[in-house]
Chain A
């Protein structure tokens, strides 16, 4: 291979990005681009997998057979999404199990929404509707992300995710139209998940350290605040439609920006939860760590078996 100047390669790389040509696994890419992607995609994958836990908490207690099957299928999809994403991470030369170990050691992060507890059945509705709703809003632009395998994984994820949001909204709708007890349960879930859902879009643009570079690389297409605003705009009327109230007294339609004004987010809480002080941080990571630890003898057994069989046929 000819020796090429890095500066030159970097210029060509950026030109490709500017022309909306996708970057594929074997293409040259700046180390920073690779590292950013490994970090972002693996954290995204971890979020899918850790995200199985709060909803998994209610599978065995789902109120009827239909809801049980739907929830089970939904949570299983999250595992699938995790896998699509880990598969994209591996195209960058990172090892899936290494990134998982980073999750277990606390080095790698995941979406902090999953550190909130699921206390009632209505939380299954709130999560599907709000959390998956916010996730979709984040993820749809990622289908056009500059890195091919990530973009393709996101296309798959987004296609599957829309059922998730609908089933959640259906749960909420049913509760909101049910007995006073059920309606109260729905409102309570909305109260608890509304603000954490808004925090899912990340810090305000002014405080977001990765945004600028990620936009230039087209890993990111919209800023955190843009997406958050869009989420508020579509979700507030949905809540009204089913007779629930978003827990923010500052919500008000603003004609001049063609969107809702909304109250200040408690960023202190956000950073505390990111930093490990959410109500369920320890339980979530512990559950995942235990799953891997308890499964290690199974992984080893299958490897040993495969090796024996290969020897036999060789």
Chain B
């Protein structure tokens, strides 16, 4: 990868709000390198103490599923209702289940 002279690469930013939570995507920004990207993310996305940990990923390194494949990728799992606990009858009076 070579960085363009006039335009820094785009980075996607993920913030962990607090210990115990996942990093969550919050937006993107421009930076020349990952060190700068993390610092910029700190200044742009955590001005109000929104996070305790930051991930940055070059936007062009993300592979995404194609929305056109949505039906074939995700619909088949919708019919598998038996994967959810609500599918099953539990007799009255039974607890801890």
List A residues at the B interface (Cβ < 8 Å). Answer: 1-2, 24, 26-28, 73, 76-77, 80, 83-84, 87-88, 90-91, 95-97, 152-153, 156, 160, 296, 299-300, 302-307, 309-310
Task: Determine which of B6, B29, B33 lies in contact with A97 in the assembled complex, contact meaning CB atoms within 8 Å.
Answer: B6
- Contact status B5-A300, CB under 8 Å: yes
Q: Do A296 and B36 contact each other (CB < 8 Å), given the known contacts A28-B67, A87-B29, A160-B48?
A: no
Min CB–CB distance B52 → chain A (angstroms): 18
State in angstroms the CA–CA spacing of A296 and B6 once bound together.
7
Contact of B68 with A by CB under 8 A: yes
Q: How many contacts A-B (CB < 8 Å)?
A: 64
- Contact status B3-A303, CB under 8 Å: yes
**Which residues from chain A contact B5 at a C-beta distance below 8 Å?**
299-300, 303-304
Subset of 22 A-B contacts with CB under 8 Å: A1-B68, A83-B29, A84-B27, A87-B28, A88-B27, A90-B10, A97-B6, A153-B27, A156-B27, A160-B48, A296-B6, A299-B6, A299-B8, A299-B32, A300-B5, A302-B33, A303-B3, A303-B4, A303-B5, A303-B8, A304-B5, A306-B3
**Which residues from chain A contact B4 at a C-beta distance below 8 Å?**
303
Q: Do A27 and B44 contact each other (CB < 8 Å), given the known contacts A97-B7, A307-B2?
A: no
Task: Determine which of B6, B29, B32, B48 lies in contact with A306 in the assembled complex, contact meaning CB atoms within 8 Å.
Answer: B32
Min CB–CB distance A151 → chain B (angstroms): 13
- Contact status A96-B48, CB under 8 Å: no
State in angstroms the CA–CA spacing of A80 and B41 once bound together.
10
Scan residues 56-87 of chain B and give those whose CB is less than 8 A from a CB of chain A: 64, 66-68
- Contact status A27-B67, CB under 8 Å: yes
Min CB–CB distance B79 → chain A (angstroms): 21
Min CB–CB distance A292 → chain B (angstroms): 10
Min CB–CB distance B31 → chain A (angstroms): 8
**Which residues from chain A contact B44 at a C-beta distance below 8 Å?**
80, 83
Q: Do A24 and B27 contact each other (CB < 8 Å), given the known contacts A80-B47, A306-B32?
A: no
Scan residues 1-36 of chain B and give those whose CB is less than 8 A from a CB of chain A: 1-8, 10, 27-30, 32-33, 36
- Contact status A77-B68, CB under 8 Å: no
State in angstroms the CA–CA spacing of A153 and B36 once bound together.
22
State in angstroms the CA–CA spacing of A56 and B55 once bound together.
32
**Which residues from chain A contact B68 at a C-beta distance below 8 Å?**
1-2, 28
Task: Determine which of B1, B10, B47, B67 lies in contact with A310 in the assembled complex, contact meaning CB atoms within 8 Å.
Answer: B1
State in angstroms the CA–CA spacing of A270 and B8 once bound together.
37
**Which residues from chain A contact B36 at a C-beta distance below 8 Å?**
302
State in angstroms the CA–CA spacing of A84 and B45 once bound together.
9
- Contact status B33-A309, CB under 8 Å: yes
- Contact status A305-B47, CB under 8 Å: no
